[in-house]
Chain A
Amino acid sequence: MKYIVAIIQPDRLDDVLDALEEKAIHLVTVSNVMGRGRQKGISEVYRSHHEANNLLKKVKVEAAVNEEFVQSTVEAIQKSARTGNIGDGKIFVLDLGQVIRIRTGETGRLAIG
């Protein structure tokens, strides 16, 4: 079992979610994050206060998948999130030790379902 964490451009979220739906990955967690990569930030001005901001708004999409789905999920995300510019983000694939469905107590492959 693997846990996939993707940091993407905020405006790509809808396309990424649609692509995951197509691959039958229905269970995802989405959150707003701030992040920085090689993309330069946009500086802000508030009267005499200058924010040399290098954190940018991004969206994090997380999903637990079974081993055999990792490849197709990663491809789906990459295809739908890609714009070709610096700042498109990254996908991390983590090892997942255990999954438990809270309502039923199911574990492992069944819980990922």
Chain B
Amino acid sequence: MRCLSRLPSFVPKEGSLLFKRSFVPFVRSLSIGFLFFLITQPAHAEDAHSLISAGDTAWVLVSAALVLMMTPALAFFYGGLVRRKNMLSVLMQCFAVMGLITIQWVFIGYSLAFGPSIGGLIGHLDWVGLAGVGLNPSAYAPTIPHQAFMIYQCMFAIITPGLILGAFAERMKFSSYVIFSLLWSTLVYDPVAHWVWGSGGFIRSWGALDFAGGAVVHVNAGMAALAAALVLGKRRGFPQRVSPPHNLPFAVLGAGLLWFGWFGFNGGSALGAGALAVTAFVSTHIAAATAGLVWAGLDWAVNKHVTMLGSITGAVAGLVAITPAAGYVTPLGAVTLGTSAAVICFVSVMYVKVKLGYDDTLDAFGVHGVGGVWGAVATGLLATTTVNAAGANGLFHGNVGLLWVQIKAVVVTGGYSFVMSYGLLKLVDKIIGLRVTETEERIGLDLTQHREAAYTVID
């Protein structure tokens, strides 16, 4: 009886009138209702939910968070490399796509990219507004809720237009960037994602292997970056009068967070928390480390000093190249990939760009484009079914066919991206103009586009 007095005052005491007239009937109807609820659960919903793996779902959600973090990481990686007066414009462009592309994804992007296929070319609009995209598993990932897969893919859609900005940093109008990103996401990213990853996508039907986005993300963005560098043209004073990075520590921080987040980018693409995720995680790390060291070595040989920027660029190049291959290669394959990616991207950035003279400001094409192309092609060399039976064997494991398919995939996605991006840029240029005026470029984008200063000079 003593314990009853410790109950909150609103709980009717046994024996009181309130207890007999209201509380008991209340509890009785609740219990009956609950039993009724249990009995009438539709059987299929219970089956579908029992397929869901907590471990897989947890890993995919964490990976989605890691990939999202890669966008602000990219913002700092790129931001540290531009002049102080343009720092905010880089951060702003990255944060803008975090909002814009999410909404685009919900309303149309996910459906176009992953919806039921129309002729292998594009997804149906069945899933517009995420209609039908619920918490039961989808065919894409049978052990996690459909929305987990959707939100994971959303983060990829977000970062890909962000990558492109490396090519036109310090000279593009913010309004034009917003419009271009939305158009590009809908007309380039979504179709390409559909071709390579969508159920029924024609490049997927060829048997092309793209584990986490070598073609869909890096070749795609890289070729768009090249188009942008050509359409927007060079910065004032390029190449003799450009400034060094204003904050290399930011670039290092960004690169470190990118490396960290890439474990979600590649590891999460296993769509489950098992052996395949481990393979992807391990090969990702090995490729990054190898490529960073090799670039540092090349720096030492060519520039006589190991540089900070070179080391982080190398690591990023390795990460880019392993992206399509992560779930298909052995650890030693990852070493090969990292080494070759560093060499190829080094040559691309240090010699090809200089020779040809285009202003790919932050080497978006030089690292992501070239690295992505190499990674996708190298997958055709290094892939082995001993690592992933659902993959295929590459040339080094006795199969010519995969290499040919990989090359075709790269040519089609890269060609499409370049042509469409070029066209979209020209279109936006016609409508509202792409580039800031010469005066605005001289003053800086932060003040002219956003009326903000990243750093005070005098408090």
Contact = CB atoms under 8 A, between A and B. Distances in A.
B354 A48 contact: yes
A47 B244 contact: no
B303 interface: yes
Interface residues of B, number: 17
A46 B307 CA distance: 8
A44 to B, nearest CB: 6
A46 B305 CA distance: 11
Interface in A68-84: none
B244 A49 contact: yes
Contacts of B69: none
A46 B244 contact: yes
The prevalent SS among residues of A at the interface is strand
Interface string B248-283: 000000000000000000000000000000000000
B349 A45 contact: no
A51 interface: yes
Contacts of A44: 244
Contacts of B363: 47-48
B245 A46 contact: yes
Q: How large is the interface on A (under 10, 10 to 19, 20 to 34, 35 or more residues)?
A: under 10
Nearest to B310: A47
A46 B354 CA distance: 13
Nearest to B238: A49
B272 to A, nearest CB: 38
B332 interface: no
Contacts of A47: 309-310, 313, 349-350, 363
Contacts of B426: none
A45 B353 contact: no
Interface in B281-323: 299, 303, 305, 307, 309-310, 313
B350 A51 contact: no
A32 to B, nearest CB: 12
Interface in A12-55: 44-49, 51
A49 B305 CA distance: 14
Contacts of A46: 81, 244-245, 307, 309
Most A-side CB within 10 Å, residue of B244, B245, B350: B244
B242 interface: yes
Nearest to B239: A49
A51 B353 contact: no
Contacts of A48: 349-350, 353-354, 363
Interface in B348-364: 349-350, 353-354, 363
A45 B307 contact: yes
Contacts of B309: 46-47
A101 to B, nearest CB: 22
Lowest 7 CB-CB distances: which A-B pairs, in order?
A: A45-B303, A46-B244, A48-B354, A48-B350, A51-B244, A46-B309, A47-B349
Interface of B: 81, 239, 242, 244-245, 299, 303, 305, 307, 309-310, 313, 349-350, 353-354, 363
5 contacts: A44-B244, A46-B244, A47-B310, A48-B350, A51-B244
